[in-house]
Amino acid sequence: MGYDIDYLAIAPEITVAVAAMVVLSLDLVLPRRQKYWTAIAAVLGVGFAAFPLITLAISDSGAASMFNGSYVVDDFALVLKGLFVAAGYLVLLMSVQYIESDRYYQGEYYFLVLMSILGSMVMASSRDLIVLFIGLELVSGPLFLLAGWRKGDARSNEASLKYFLLGVLSAAIMLYGMSLLYGATGEVTFDGIRAASAGMTGEPLFILAVLFVVIGFAFKVSAVPFHFWAPDTYEGAPTPITAYLSVSSKAAGFVGLLIITYRALPEASAVWGPAIWIMAVLSMTVANLTALRQQNIVRLLAYSSVAQAGFMLVPFAVAGVSNDVDALGSAFTATITYLIIYAFMNLGAFAIVIAGARRTRTGDIDGWAGFGRRSPVLGFLAAVFFFSLAGIPPLAGWYAKFVMFSSAIGGGSVWTGLLAAIAAVNAVIAFYYYARVVKTIWMDEAPDAAGVEYEPVAGSLRLALVLAAAVVFIAGFFPDVINFFSETTRLLASG
Amino acid sequence: MEWFDTWGLSLIVFLPLVGALLVVLLPREQEESHKWISLITTGIVLILSVVAAANFDFGAAKSFQYEVNESWISAIGANYHVGVDGISLPLLVLSGFVTLLSVIYSWNHWEEPRNPKAFLALMLVLLTGMNGTFVALDLVLFFIFFELVLLPMYFMIGIWGDKSERVLPVFGKTVSVRLYAAIKFFLFTLFGSAFMLLGFLALYLNSADTVAGRTFDIPALIARAPELTMLPVAGWIFAGLFLGFAVKVPMFPFHTWLPDAHTAAPTVGSVLLAAILLKLGSYGFIRIAIPILPEQAKQWAPVIAVLAVIGIIYGALACLAQTDMKRLIAFSSVGHMGFVMLGIATLTDVGINAAIIGMVAHGVITGLLFFLAGSMSHRYHTRDMDRLGGNQKLMPMLGGILAFTAMASLGLPGLAGFWGEFMALLGSYSPLDGLSLGLFRTAMVIGAVGTVLTAGYLLWMLQKVNLGEPKAEWDDQKFHDADKFELAAWVPLIVTIIAIGVYPKIVFGATTEAVEALVKTAFGG
Amino acid sequence: MTNFLLAAAEEEVHSAVEAAYTSGFWAEYAWIMLVIPWIAVLGIIFFGKRMKYLGAEIAIGMLAFNTIWASILFILNITKGVVYEGAVTIAEIGSNLIFELGWVVDGLSIMMYFVVSFVGLVIFIYAVGYMKGDVRVTWFFASFTIFAGSMLVLVGAPNLVQLIIGWEGVGVASYLLIGHYWEQKENSSAGMKAFFTNKVADIGLIIGAIMVGVTLGTFKFSELSNAAAEHADSLALVAGMIGALLFFGAMGKSAQFPFHIWLPDAMAGPTPVSALMHAATMVTAGVYLMARTFPLYQNLAEDIRPWMVAIATITLFAMGLLALVADDIKKVLAYSTVSQLGYMMVAVAAGGYTAGVFHLFTHAFFKALLFLGAGSVIHAVHSNNMSDMGGLRKDMPRTYWTFVIGSAALAGIIPFSGFWSKDEILVTLGHEGYTAVMWIAIAGAFITAFYMTRAIMLTFHGSYKGHGHPHESEPVMTVPLIILAGFAAVVGFLNIPGVEFGGRGNFTQWLGMREVVMGDHHPTAPDWGMAAIGLGAALLGVLAGLALFARDKATQQERDKFEIPALYPLLRRKYYMDDAALGLVWLIKAPFARAIDWINDYIIDGVVNTMGFLTAGLAQLVYGGLDQRGIDLGFNAFAYASGGSGERLRRLQTGRVQQYASVFVGAAVMFVIGFVIFG
Amino acid sequence: MTLAPVLVLAALLFSLGVYGLLARRNAVLVLLAIELMLNAVNINLVAFEAMLQDSLATGQVFAIFVITVAAAEVGIGLAIVLLIFRNRATANVDEFSLMKW
C-alpha cells in the first residue's frame, strides 16, 4: 500500500499508451500512401502489451497496489487485461482491411481504439470510484467518435449521436449514484465502501445510490431495458467497431459491474440482486424474441449480444439472491468464464460478417444465401461461431452456458431455479435465430449467384478468424484452459 | 493388449474425428480418397469395437471395463471418464456397425447436392458423438456427446434432405420439408436437453456436501443414489432428465419431430437417426435416470408405461393412415420405441434387458427399412405408396429383402425384433414390486394388441408397395435391382437380424449381468 | 386338483419313461430334422434357380431325409418307446428366465414329425407336377420349405417360446404361400387376412406363454407339471386364464369359430399349399398346442373346458353347414377342414387327448389326399368351381377313385381311417358326459357325408360342363394320390381299441409316451354301438347326397338345387362373420387411424407449431409492440407527467433518441419505485 | 449547515437536466442539459465532502475529475453534432430516426 508507482505493474498500460502516441505521431508524419504503417504500429503495440502481461502473470510477485489501493494489479486485473488486449488485438486485425477500403483517415482510428483499450485496462485495475469512472469514460469517449467513423453516412452519424446521448445520460445517472454512495459511506475506495456499507441496506439514500450505479453499468452491458442504443449503434457503426462495442466495451461494463457488486457492494446484494434478476430475465427474453424478427445480420448480432448479456447477468442475480459462499464464488467465475468465451466467439461472428460482406454491405441475412457453397471455409467458420453462440457442444459456447446454468442451479432457491428454467427456454429460442443464419448460409439457394461480388479476405482478417476459431475449439474441448484464467480471479470475490 | 485397455475406447470415440479432419483437409475433387478414408476409419472403429467386445470380460459384465478416468475440467470436477459395461457394449458395437454400412451404402448413393466430402465428414463426426455417448461415464462428457450428434444430423437433414415443400396443417403455411424438419429436430432435442442439463447440474450440486467432493461421475452418483433420491428436489431433477431423454427416444407426446425428421432426412441420415440416435434417449434412462434416482423412477414408471403404451398404439394407428412410405416407417419407430420404454418402465431386469435388445433390434431392422425406402425412392423418385406397387416384380431382390425386413419389424419370432417385444410384455406382466400390477398388466395387453396393429400396417405397406401389378407409369422404365454396394450394406444387417433372433445371447450375454446388478443396486432384492 | 400332480410326478410316468429308450442316436440327433429345412431354404434361394427342378429337389430331398428319420423314430417308439429332450440355451435373463431352443422326442412329437415329413413329402412331390410352368417355382418351394420347417420347429418345441417361434413362422409361410399369386390383390389380401387373423389370436398365445413363464418360472412343457405342483397356489389363480389364453391362440391357427374366417380365403394359394396347410401344417398347430399342454387343461384349467367344447362344437357344426353351399371345390374342403378341426378340438377339450390327436393323424392323410385330388381336377379343368366340372370320373379315374377313398375316410365310412378316429371322438364325448355335444357331432357326421357326396357327384358324375378336354394328371401327381389313398384307408387300424402292434400297445400307447401321463380315457374294446350310430349317420348323409345330387341335369346350378330358404342366405354370407371382420378392420384403418393421423398433424403437431408461431408472434409483439406503442406510451406518460402539452406529445413521438432516453429514465425510476414499495 | 437543502438543489438540478435531455429538440441544448446533470453530481460531491470533513478531500478531487471529463464529453458531443449538421443541415435530435429499434 502506498503512493509509489510500480512501473512494471502498469507496463501493459504504458505500452498501449505509447503505442497510441506512436500511431498518432506516425499519422502526422507519414504521407498518405504509407498510412498503413499506423495500422501495423497499432497491431504491434497491442501485441507488445501482451509481453509485460505474461511476465507479470508468470512472476509470483503478488498483487501490486498503487495510489493508496486505488489502482491494483492483481490476478483479476491481469486476466481481464489479457482479455482486453486479446480482444483489442483481434478487433485491430479485423479493422485493417475494413478501414483501408474506406475513404477515411486511418491514424485517428487506431489511436482511438488504442485509447479505448487503455481505458478498459484501467477499469480492470480500478479499486475506487474515481478510477473506475475515469476508466469508463476512457473506454466510452473514443467509442462515441468511432461509432460515427463513417462520417458521410447518415446512419453512422445517427449511431454515434444515439450512443453518445444515452451514454452520457447513463454516465450522469451513474455519477449521481456514485456521489450518493460517497455521501452515504464517506468512502470512494471499494474496500472502504464495503466496510462502511455493512448494515446500511435499509437506507433509502444507499439504495438509490446502488441502483443508480448498477443502472449505469447496465447501460454499458446493454441490459434490457437499458439496451435501446445497442441495435441502432451496432448497425450504424463500422463493423469492427460494432465488434469492439459488443465485446470489449461490454466486457468493460461487466468488469465494472463485477468489481462494484462483488468488491464494493456485497452487503447491498439485497438491492442489486433482484434488480439484476429482473434485468437478466428481461434481457434474455426480450432480446431473444426480438432477434427472431431481425432481417439485418448486424442487428441480429446486436440483439444476440443483448441476450448474451442477459445470460451473463444470471450469475450476478444468483449471487445477489443466494447467501451461499460457494455459490458466490462460482457465480463470479461463471461470469468471467462466460465473458472470455463470449468475447472470442462473438468476435469470430463479427469477423465472419466482415469477411462475408458484399460490396454493397446491406447486411441483409437473406443475402447470405448460398454463401456456404461459394466459400465453404468461411461458411464452416460461420457455423462454428454461430453455433458456439447458441451453446452447442463441443464448441466453446457450451461451457459458457454450462457454468451459467451451474451457478443458477447452485443458487439453490426457487428464484434461481426459476431463473435457470427461463434461461433454458431462452437458450432454445436463441438457437433458432442463430441456426437461421447458418441455415441461410448452407441450406438456402443463392438467388443471384452470378452477380454477387465479395471482397477478398485479407490476411489480417484470416488471422483473426483462425485465432478466434482456435480459441472456440480449444476452449470447447478443454474448458480448463478458460477455467485456469477465471479461477485465478476468484480471490476478488471473496475479498 | 495393455495399450488397448487404456486407449481402446478413446480410439473408438476419437478416431472418426481424426478421419473427419482428414476428409476435410483433402480437396473436394478427391472423392475416392474421401470415401476410402471414411471406410477405413469406420472399419477400424468397428474392428476396435469388436476387439473390445472380444476382450470383454463377460464374467464381470456389470463392472466398467477399459475404463479411463482422467481429469478433464478440474474446476467442476468433470472427468474424462469412459468405460463400457454389458449395457453399453452392444450399443457401441451397433453404432460402429451401422455407420460402416452407411458409408458402404453411400459409396454410390448421393443425394443432391452431393458433396461427399462434407457428408462423410459429418457422418464421421456423428459417429464420434454416438460412440462417445455410449462410453461416457461422466455426466458432462455424456452431455457433450449427446449434443454433439445434433449438429451433423441437422446439416444432413437441412442440406441433403427432401427438397419438396409441404403445407403445415392448421396454419396453412408452406414450408420447405427439409428445413422445417431440421430445425424441428434440433429445437425439440435442444429443449429437452436444456432441462436435462439442469438436472445434471442439480445432481452435481447435491453429490457431496463440500465443493471439493462434488462430482459428475456416473458410477459415483449411482453409489450415492440412496441419498440423492431422497432429496426434496429429486422429483424435479428426474423431470428434467425425463424431458431430455423422452424427447430423444421419442416418447408419445414429444414424438412429432421424428416423422418429419425421418421423412426429410437423406437415406443414410434416416438410417443413423433411427438406428442409433433414438437409442441415446433410452440409453440415458437406463444409464443415468433410473440408477441415480430409483425412487423417482418408481414414481414415474406408471407414467412412462402409459406413455409408452399410448405410443405403441398411436404409432401403429398413425402408420395406417400414411401414404408416404418413409413416413410410415418413421411412425413405426414411435411404436417400437414404445416397447423399449415399456420394458424400461417395468424396472425389472427382464424389462430392461428387453429394452436393450429392443434397441439393438430396432437399430438393425429399422435401419435396414430406411435403407430400403431410400433405395426405392432413389429409383422411383417417389415415396407415395399409392403410386408404388409391384415392386416385387420390378425388383425381386429388393422386394424380397423389404418383405423380410418388414417381417422382422413386426416382431416375427426367430428374428431380432421378437425378443424386445416379447420380453417387454413379459416384464410388464410382473413389474417391480410396488408398481401397480393392474396398470402394467393392462399395458401388457394393450401392448400385445399393438403387436397386431404393427403386423397390420407392415403387411398393408407390403401389399401396397411390394405386391400387385406395377402401375402403368413404370411400364417403360428400366429398374435395376439391388446393386453390390446396397447388398454389401444390407446383407450384414440381414445376417444380424437372423443371428440375434435365433441366438439372442449375442446381446443378452453382455447385458444380463449388468442389468441385474443395476436393478439390484437401484431397487434392492 | 393337485392330487393329479403328485400322482403324475410319482410312479407311473417315471416307470414308463425310465423304461423308455431315451438316449439313442436317433433321438439325440433329432435336432437335425429341425435344422435342415433352413439349410434347404438357403440352398433353394441361392442355388434353386439353376437347378433342373428349380430347387424342388432340395426341398424333396430334405423332406425325404426327415421322413426316413421320423419313420425310424416312429418304429423305435413302437418297439421301445422314446422320450428324449435336448436344448441349447439361447438366453438367460437373471436366474430363472431361461430361453432355450431344443427338440423334444416323444410319442406326440414323433407322430407329428412323421405326419409333417411324410405328408409334406408326398405333397412336395405332387407340387413338382402341379407347379410346372408357374411364375416362380423356386420361390414357391422356398416358402414351402419354410412352411414345413416352421412346423417342424413348432412340433419339436420343448418349450412355449420355441413353439411361438415355429408358430409365427408357420404364419408367415402361410402368408407367403396364400399370397403366392400376389399380382392379384385378392390373393395378397387373403394372405394378409390369414396372417392378421392369426396374429390377433396370437395375443392369447403370447400372453398365455408369458403368464406360464412368470407364474411357473419355466416355459418348458416337460417341467410344467412339476413346476405346477410347486407353484400350485399361485397357479390356481391364473390357471383358468392361462388355459383360456392358450386356447385363444389355438383358435386362430386351428380356425375355430370365429377365427375361421381366414381359412376359406386361404384357398387363394396354389392347391398344394392348401393340402399342406390343411393336412400337416398350420391348422393342426392349434390342436397340437392343446395336445402338448393337455395336462394343464386336464387337471388345472378345468373350468374353461366347457367353453372350449362349446366353441369347438359350434365350429364343427356351423362350418360343416357352410360346406354345403360352396361352389368352389377347395372351399368345400376348406370348410370341411374347419369342421373336422372342430372335431379334434372338441375331443381334446372334452378330455380325449388320444381321440383328438388320432383324428388329427388320420385327417392329415385323407385331407391331403382330397386336396391333392381337387388340385388334380382343377389342374385338368382350369377352374376351381364345381359348376365348371362334372363327369370327370371317366376322364380321371385315378383321381376319382382316390378322391372317393378320401371322401369315405372323411365321411367316416368303415373301414377307412376317418371312421375309426371319429368314432373314438364320439366315444370320448359320451364317456366324458358331453352327451348333447355327442349328438351334435353325430349330426355333423351326417352333414360331412352329405357335402362330400355332393362334391363327388357334382365333380365326377353327370356330364362335363366345363371347357376343353380334361384328362388325367401325370404320374408325378397321381402317384402321390395313390400313396395317400393307401394311407387314408389303413391308418385307422392303428388305434382300434384292444388291437396291439409291436408289443407296446397301439397308437394310444405310442402317443402316451410322454414324461407326464395324459390321464385321458382309453376304451379297451371297440364300442360297436356308438360305431353303428356314427356309421349310420354317415351313410344317411351319403344317401341324402345321392338322392339330391346324383341325377344329371343341364347345368350344375340346376343339379345343385339344395336350398334351405331361411339358412341359405346366412350360409352364403358365411354367417356375416367376414363382413364383421372386414368392418372391424375398416374401422381401425379408416376412422381410427385417420383420427390419430389427424390428431398428430393438427393437435400435437399443431401445439408444437403453435408454440413456434406463438413465439414468433410474441417476438413481433415485443419488437413491434414495444416499439410502436409501448415506448410511445411510456414516453407519453412521462411527458404528460412532466406537464407536457398535447403539441409536445405529438412532436416527441418522432424523436427516437429521446424516446430511448425516456425509457431509460423511466426504467430507472421504476426500479427505484419498485424498491421503495417492495424493498 | 444542513445537508438536505443542498441535496435537494442537486436533485432538482439533475431532474432539470433529465427533462432538458428528453424535451429539448436542439442538440446543443441537449448537451447543455447534460452539463446540468453532471453539475448536480458535482454539487453532491462537494456537499458530501464538506459534511464528511474528508481529510483527503476526495469529493473535491472527484468533482474536478468530473468537470474535466464533462468538458471532454461536451467536446465530443459538439463534434458529433457538427458532423451531423454538416451532413443533414439540422441539429434537431428528433429528426434522426433512420434506424428503427
pLDDT 10s digits, B385-420: 888 888 888 888 899 899 999 999 988 888 998 999
Higher pLDDT among residues B140 and C186, named by residue: B140
Q: Please judge whether D27 and A158 are an interchain contact, meaning their C-beta atoms are less than 8 angstroms apart.
A: no
Name the least confident of A29-33, B464-468, C657-661.
C657-661
Kindly list the residues of chain B whose beta carbon comes within 8 Å of any beta carbon in chain A: 28, 72-76, 113, 118, 140, 143-145, 147-148, 150-151, 154-155, 158-159, 178-179, 182-183, 186-187, 190-191, 194-195, 197-198, 201-202, 204-205, 211, 236
pLDDT of residue B126: 92
φ, ψ of residue A128 to 5 degrees: the values are: -145, 170
B9, B10, B11, B13: CA torsion to nearest 10: 90
Q: Does pLDDT of A116 surpass 90?
A: yes
Closest CB to C601 among B169, B353, B419: B169
pLDDT 10s digits, B324-374: 899 999 999 999 999 999 999 999 888 999 999 999 999 999 999 999 999
Closest CB to D38 among A175, A180, A186: A175
> Which strand (E) or helix (H) includes residue B251?
none
pLDDT 10s digits, B411-446: 888 899 899 999 999 999 989 888 888 999 999 999
Task: Look at the block and give the residue holding cell 445432481.
Answer: B203
CA distance A91 to A350: 9
Residues 295-354 of A with CB under 8 A from B: 326, 333
For residue D94, the chain C residues in CB contact (below 8 A) are 651-652, 654-658
pLDDT 10s digits, C178-231: 888 888 888 888 888 888 888 888 889 999 999 888 888 888 888 777 777 777
pLDDT of residue C639: 52
Mean pLDDT on B481-501: 91
- For residue A213, what pLDDT band results from cuts at 50, 70 and 90? very high
Chains B and A share 3 or more Cβ pairs within 8 Å? yes
CA distance C617 to C622: 8
- For residue C638, what pLDDT band results from cuts at 50, 70 and 90? low
For residue B350, the chain C residues in CB contact (below 8 A) are 93-94, 97
**Mutate which of A175, A191, A290 to disrupt the D interface (most D C-beta within 10 Å)?**
A175
Instruction: Answer whether C661 touches A (CB < 8 Å).
Output: yes
Closest CB to B318 among C175, C192, C596: C596
pLDDT 10s digits, C445-460: 888 998 888 888 888 8
Q: Does pLDDT of C356 surpass 70?
A: yes
Shortest distance between the Cα of D89 and any Cα of chain A, in A, equals 12
Q: Does pLDDT of C651 surpass 50?
A: no
Q: State whether residue A93 is helix, strand or coil.
A: helix
- Helices marked H in C29-159: 31-47, 56-79, 107-130, 137-155
Q: Does pLDDT of C4 surpass 50?
A: no
| Structural domains in chain D (count) | 1
Q: Does pLDDT of C7 surpass 60?
A: no
Instruction: Answer whether A386 touches B (CB < 8 Å).
Output: no
Shortest distance between the Cα of A251 and any Cα of chain D, in A, equals 22
Q: Please judge whether D93 and A180 are an interchain contact, meaning their C-beta atoms are less than 8 angstroms apart.
A: no
Instruction: Answer whether C610 touches A (CB < 8 Å).
Output: no
Higher pLDDT among residues C568 and C424, named by residue: C424
For residue D19, the chain C residues in CB contact (below 8 A) are 642
Q: Across-strand partners of B70? A: B80
Q: Please judge whether D94 and C661 are an interchain contact, meaning their C-beta atoms are less than 8 angstroms apart.
A: no
Q: Please judge whether B504 and C594 are an interchain contact, meaning their C-beta atoms are less than 8 angstroms apart.
A: no
Query: Helix, strand, coil: what percent of chain B each, to 5?
Result: 75, 5, 20
Instruction: Answer whether A215 touches C (CB < 8 Å).
Output: yes
Query: Counting one residue from A and one from C, how many pairs have CB atoms under 8 Å apart?
Result: 68
pLDDT of residue C626: 61
Q: Please judge whether B170 and C606 are an interchain contact, meaning their C-beta atoms are less than 8 angstroms apart.
A: yes
- For residue B141, what pLDDT band results from cuts at 50, 70 and 90? very high
Q: Please judge whether C165 and B456 are an interchain contact, meaning their C-beta atoms are less than 8 angstroms apart.
A: no
- For residue B256, what pLDDT band results from cuts at 50, 70 and 90? confident
Mean pLDDT on A12-28: 91
Domain assignment present for D101: no
CA distance C225 to C221: 8
> CA dist C146 to C36, C120, C172, Å?
11, 12, 9
- For residue A360, what pLDDT band results from cuts at 50, 70 and 90? very low
- For residue A449, what pLDDT band results from cuts at 50, 70 and 90? low
A75 CA to centre of own chain? 19
Q: Please judge whether A179 and D101 are an interchain contact, meaning their C-beta atoms are less than 8 angstroms apart.
A: no
pLDDT of residue C641: 54
What range defines the domain where residue D15 resides?
4-89
Q: State whether residue C504 is helix, strand or coil.
A: coil
CA distance B380 to A491: 68
Q: For chain C, how big is the Rg over CA atoms in Å?
A: 34
Shortest distance between the Cα of D1 and any Cα of chain A, in A, equals 15
Q: For chain A, how big is the Rg over CA atoms in Å?
A: 21
φ, ψ of residue B354 to 5 degrees: the values are: -60, -40
- For residue C563, what pLDDT band results from cuts at 50, 70 and 90? low
Q: Please judge whether D97 and C665 are an interchain contact, meaning their C-beta atoms are less than 8 angstroms apart.
A: no
pLDDT of residue C9: 45
How many Cα atoms within 13 Å fall on the side-chain side of residue C279? 33
Task: Tell me if the bond preceding A225 is cis, omega within 30° of 0.
Answer: yes
Q: Which residues contact B54 (CB under 8 A, 6 or more apart)?
A: none
CA distance A184 to A187: 8
> CA dist B96 to B66, B128, B275, Å?
17, 10, 11
Higher pLDDT among residues D25 and C350, named by residue: C350
Q: Please judge whether D21 and C658 are an interchain contact, meaning their C-beta atoms are less than 8 angstroms apart.
A: yes
pLDDT 10s digits, C572-629: 777 777 777 777 777 777 777 788 778 877 777 777 778 778 877 777 777 766 654 5
pLDDT of residue C3: 45
User: How many CB atoms are closer than 10 A to CB B275?
Assistant: 29
Domain assignment present for D51: yes
pLDDT of residue C11: 47
CA distance C38 to B61: 33
Type of residue numbered A175 = L
Most confident among A306-310, B316-320, D95-99 (mean pLDDT): A306-310
Q: Across-strand partners of A424? A: none
Domain assignment present for D25: yes
Considering the entire predicted model, what is its pTM?
A: 0.90
Chains D and C share 3 or more Cβ pairs within 8 Å? yes
Q: Please judge whether B256 and C195 are an interchain contact, meaning their C-beta atoms are less than 8 angstroms apart.
A: no
Q: Does pLDDT of A427 surpass 80?
A: yes
| Structural domains in chain B (count) | 1
For residue A387, the chain B residues in CB contact (below 8 A) are 151
CATH of the domain at D37: 1.10.287.3510
- For residue A254, what pLDDT band results from cuts at 50, 70 and 90? very high
Q: Please judge whether C652 and D23 are an interchain contact, meaning their C-beta atoms are less than 8 angstroms apart.
A: yes
pLDDT, averaged across chain C: 81
pLDDT 10s digits, A155-187: 888 888 889 988 999 999 999 999 999 988 888
Q: State whether residue B485 is helix, strand or coil.
A: helix
CA distance B505 to B508: 4
CA distance B354 to B428: 10
In the complex, which subunits touch D with 3 or more CB pairs below 8 angstroms?
Answer: A, C
